[in-house]
Each structure stands twice: as structure tokens, then as C-alpha cells.
A and B are shown apart, each in its own frame.
Chain A
């Protein structure tokens, strides 16, 4: 089961869960993903130890997709 989460004031919220063979859940996950992108969130996927990747489309085969806010120099 893959998961789309957003880091927020609760620690993190699960926005969608899906399996690639469930088209309804996939559709819902894609909609949730796009809604977060429109709110200014960035999507990250862990791609091995010490590596993460920025993604612009929901990777359906990823176990965990994390939505984070942009960072800036302080």
C-alpha cells in the first residue's frame, strides 16, 4: 500500500493511500497530489539511503510520497 503524506502542524497527515491496481484510489491520490502542488507544496520521494528525489507527478510505484514546504535561507 502506497501512501501520500503531508508534513503539517499535526506532525503529518495521510492524504491518500493506494495500490496501483485500484484505479479509484489512484485517481483520488493523483487529485490529492495535484491539490497539494497547487497549494505550493513540493513532493519528495526517498530514492535509497541518503537520497531523495523531487517529483512533479505522483509516482504510483513509490511506497511513500512526502509533501513538504519550500525552504529558504534565513
Chain B
């Protein structure tokens, strides 16, 4: 049981939520699988039934199959969106210089917090890899993905937008905020965050930007090698 000092202070704002642990993750993962099945099976069943009853209903059957494919893809897209960098307002050239300087300083601080490999990965993908007790985390500006078992859990979590200073933070600082909170209390971090998708890693990978997939692959390879070593 963590002591009061080890619990993320933000957990108090979501005191009604169950603290995330391995059992909770497994339960959530199964619920998401069940939801996916509940979306896919009726549409595929309807398509099959229509074709059996009346082959001329092919267009309707195809529409059903399209629904069965699109709905899970939309959920996976929602998951991948947690890692997307936030869009920045267009600025004039002097603001641009300030923003670039702030960006460099923030990335420098982030670099001080992580190791060489994580720094290199961040330079390539804009994401930071962080091993945890629940699994391996990929941390972005406005969310994080936890790889646990065969599933990816996509969490939407960011610097509290109600804070006046939150909007002006450069990307490195946004990631550093999440990283420090994650390192302070991993379970608390997952409790505060909103789960936007849980599903197979390959489903998430397909919806991720190509340059970000390297982060997922690096996290997966670490997880798979750990699993093999454990086995």
C-alpha cells in the first residue's frame, strides 16, 4: 500500500475511481474486447444473414461489413490520437524564435530526465519510452500508452488545461510533466488519466503516425523480451 507521500496529489480529484492495478487493467482489457466483439458480430451476422436470404441485398450486406470494420478502427484511432502532438497556433517570426528557444530548453530538461536511448527515441518520434511496473509506457504531449500483456491501453492525460500557464508550455515540458507524475505514482497516473482505448497492439500500430511507430516497436520489443525472460 503506497504511503500518502507516494500517491499522486491529483488522485484526490478523482477519489471515486478505483485505483488502477493489474487486475483492473485485465478487467478493462476484457471489457474492451467484449465491446469490440459486440460491435463486430451483429454487423457480420446481419451481412451473412442478408446474403443467405437474398443475394440481391449485397450492397446492404457490404454496408454492414463496412460498419463492422470501421467502428473498431475508429476506436483504435481514438487511442492513437492520445499520442498526437498538439497543434500550435501560427506565430510571427519573433514569437517563432522565442518558441524555438523554449522548445529547445524544454527538450534539454526532458533529456536530463531520461537516458540516452530514450533521448534518441524522442528525437526520432517525439515520444518518450518509460518502463514501469504495470508495463511499458509511451509518453506523448497529451497522453500515454501502456503496453501490458498483448494489449495497449491508451490514456488521455495532460497538463490540467484549467491552469492559466498550461496553454503556453512547450512540448518537452508537457511530456516532462507527465513523465514526472508517472514516475511518482504509476498506478495513480493511470487512475487520473482517462482510458480512451484498450486493444491489441497491432490495431493501435495501424492508426499511429508512421514516424511514431518506432516508439511502439521499441516498447513492444522490450516487453516481449521481458516476457520471454520471465517465462
Report, as a range, how many residues of chain A touch the other chain: 20 to 34
Does A34 lie at the interface of the complex (its beta carbon under 8 Å from any beta carbon of B)? no
Does B194 lie at the interface of the complex (its beta carbon under 8 Å from any beta carbon of A)? yes
Does B10 lie at the interface of the complex (its beta carbon under 8 Å from any beta carbon of A)? yes
Does B71 lie at the interface of the complex (its beta carbon under 8 Å from any beta carbon of A)? no
A residues bordering B, Cβ < 8 Å? Answer: 5, 7-12, 40, 42, 44, 46, 49-54, 66, 68-74
Does B124 lie at the interface of the complex (its beta carbon under 8 Å from any beta carbon of A)? no
Cα–Cα, bound, A46→B169 (Å): 21
Q: Is the CB of A72 within 8 A of B105?
A: no
Within B132-166, which residues are at the interface with A (CB < 8 Å)?
Answer: 132, 142-143, 155-163, 165-166
Q: Is the CB of B157 within 8 A of A71?
A: yes
Q: Out of B14, B108, B163, name the residue touching A69 (CB < 8 Å).
A: B163
Q: Out of B108, B132, B177, B181, name the residue touching A11 (CB < 8 Å).
A: B108
Q: Out of A9, A53, A70, A71, name the residue touching B170 (CB < 8 Å).
A: A9
| Interface Cβ pair total, 8 Å cutoff | 115
Known: A7-B169, A11-B108, A50-B131. A70 touches B102 (CB 8 A): no
Cα–Cα, bound, A40→B176 (Å): 17
Known: A10-B102, A11-B172, A54-B184. A71 touches B177 (CB 8 A): yes
Give the number of residues in B that approach A within 8 Å (Cβ atoms).
52
B residues bordering A, Cβ < 8 Å? Answer: 5-6, 8-10, 13-14, 82, 98, 101-106, 108-109, 113, 115, 130-132, 142-143, 155-163, 165-166, 168-170, 172-173, 176-178, 180-181, 183-185, 189, 192-194
Known: A51-B183, A73-B194. A11 touches B159 (CB 8 A): no
Q: Is the CB of B165 within 8 A of A71?
A: no
Could you write out 27 A-B pairs with CB less than 8 Å apart?
A8-B168, A9-B165, A10-B98, A10-B101, A10-B105, A11-B108, A42-B9, A46-B113, A46-B183, A50-B131, A53-B184, A54-B5, A54-B8, A66-B176, A66-B180, A68-B159, A69-B160, A69-B169, A70-B13, A70-B159, A70-B160, A70-B163, A71-B157, A71-B160, A72-B192, A73-B192, A74-B82
Q: Out of A7, A11, A49, name the residue touching B104 (CB < 8 Å).
A: A11
Cα–Cα, bound, A70→B176 (Å): 12
Residue of B132, B177, B192 with highest tally of chain A CB at under 10 A = B177
Which residues of chain B have C-beta atoms less than 8 A from A7's C-beta? 106, 109, 169, 173, 176-177
Q: How far is the CB of B183 from chain A (nearest CB, A)?
A: 4
Known: A9-B170, A11-B101, A12-B105. A50 touches B192 (CB 8 A): no
Known: A7-B106, A9-B102. A71 touches B159 (CB 8 A): yes
Q: Write the chain B residue with the least CB distance to A68.
A: B177
Residue of B98, B155, B161, B170 with highest tally of chain A CB at under 10 A = B170
Q: How far is the CB of A42 from chain B (nearest CB, A)?
A: 6
